[in-house]
Amino acid sequence: MLRRGRVSLAFGFFAQGVAFALLVTRIPAVQDRYGVSDALLPVFLAAVPILAGVGSVTTEHLVKRVRPSRVLRWSQPVVLLALLGVGSGDRMAGLGAALAAFGLAVGALDASMNMLGVSLQRAYGRSIMLSFHAAYSLGGIVGASLAWAGAHWHVALWVSYLPVVAVLLPAVLAGSRWYVDGGGGPAEPEDRAGGSRSGDGSGSSDGSSGGSGRGGVVFRLLLPLCLVMTFAYIGDSTVSNWSAKYLRDVLGGSEQMATVPYNVYMVTTLLGRSLGDFGVRRLGAVTVVRLGALVAAGGFAVVAVAPGPWVGMLGFTLLGLGLCVLVPQTFAAAGRLFPGASDAAVARLNVFNYVGFLVGSPLVGALGDAWSYRGAMLVPMVLVLVTLVYARSFAPQRDRYGGGHERPRTADVGRGSNGL
């Protein structure tokens, strides 16, 4: 049951990576299709993370009554359909409505996916969180590659998006039947939402769910992780929202080449996350987070001084290797810090994902317009370095994943109160 739950959740991460990459790597094409000006573009880019934050906060309260698996099951199709809406409309109002639906659904999707990931890591008794985010990175590679093909052959957005949605939508619905809640068992039929869930317990019986169980979330203790999440996503949003424009307008690359930096970033992110769980087990989360912050800062420095597009590619390569470990380990650390309220901790922490996007995208754009885009790249570099100050927050707590102090693999998955 756990193995099937892990595979189905990984596919959910993969599908989200595809959808998000198809959106962000075609921002210039979206801008041209709807006639969005450079001044108005940051407003649209900022609206998505704001609404996603609303979706994440709503999910924190929703999972007190509804299983995270159900939230994930129905938010993912909305994301895919909203993506199709972005590509098929022709009026500004339609774009706004599609992006609003995308943002709200993404907030619920991200929160519920990571809730399930943290609870599965608890059940496995070892670090597996990076593997889920590796699947997301693989999806990003597929999505960015499809975006490159669309730009290369000048394919209309809706033509690029429709086959992807047609394939992924039934696949994620089929896979959702194997989602695992709270380390208990597979997601049970919809009509059992109000009762006990094979050791998960939608109400107060599950220590991992929605802030119930062994204490609630103390925000003062969660704050260092919130800051790290914010800084990481300021860096990630800089790549997602500005890499294409930066390579084309600042470094002199073609429109076709402008789709490549995000792809390079996702390839190196996949590589780092595929090896990351092994690194956490051998070196510990603190060391891995520190190394990631240093490599990411080096990547921003290279991007800022790059004389041309190919050196810029090197910088984005380093960024992928550095930033890739920060977000998964932040979610895992929150689960360890609040073993009796991991769902609530993940939902609150996930809001700072969007705070990072909300701050990062407009900040880089404003600095780029007022000063220079090269100089703007130094700001996320400094913020990522601040992560070093908070690295001790990733130290093993009760379960001590990594460093030879893991719980046995034969964890009792029927007990929702086991700490992470």
pTM of the complete model: 0.80
Residue 184 predicted with pLDDT over 50:
no
Two tokens, residue 369? 């317009």
Q: Which of 67-76, 123-132, 261-270, 329-338 has the lowest mean pLDDT?
A: 261-270
pLDDT at 417: 34
> 181 - beta bridge partners?
185
Q: Which of 238-247, 354-363, 409-418 has the lowest mean pLDDT?
A: 409-418
Q: Tens digits of per-residue pLDDT, 254-270? A: 877 887 887 788 889 99
pLDDT at 278: 92
**Predicted confidence band of residue 315 (pLDDT cuts 50, 70, 90):** very high
Residue 38 predicted with pLDDT over 60:
yes
Q: Which residues touch 413 (CB under 8 Å, ≥6 apart)?
A: 2, 123, 183, 184, 185, 199
Two tokens, residue 105? 């659904």
Q: What share of the chain is helix, strand, coil (3-state, %, to 5)?
A: 75, 0, 25
**Predicted confidence band of residue 400 (pLDDT cuts 50, 70, 90):** very low
Residue 239 predicted with pLDDT over 60:
yes
Residue 177 predicted with pLDDT over 50:
yes
CA distances 71 to 64, 133, 184, 414, Å, are 11, 19, 17, 22
**Predicted confidence band of residue 61 (pLDDT cuts 50, 70, 90):** very high
- Determine the average pLDDT of the residues in 290-296: 96
CA distances 199 to 54, 178, 189, 417, Å, are 29, 16, 15, 9
Look over the chain and give the mean of its residue pLDDT values, rounded to a whole number: 84
With tokens 């409309």, the residue in question is: 89
- In order of their start, the domains of the chain are 2-186+211-394 (1.20.1250.20)
Check if the beta carbon of residue 11 is closer than 8 Å to that of residue 171: yes
Q: Which of 199-208, 322-331, 365-374, 401-410 has the lowest mean pLDDT?
A: 199-208
pLDDT at 215: 55
**Predicted confidence band of residue 397 (pLDDT cuts 50, 70, 90):** low
H or E element, residue 185? strand 185-186
pLDDT at 145: 87
Positive or negative, the CA dihedral 345, 401, 198, 190 is positive
Q: Tens digits of per-residue pLDDT, 200-225? A: 333 333 334 433 334 578 888 999 99
Q: Tens digits of per-residue pLDDT, 150-172? A: 888 889 999 999 999 999 999 99
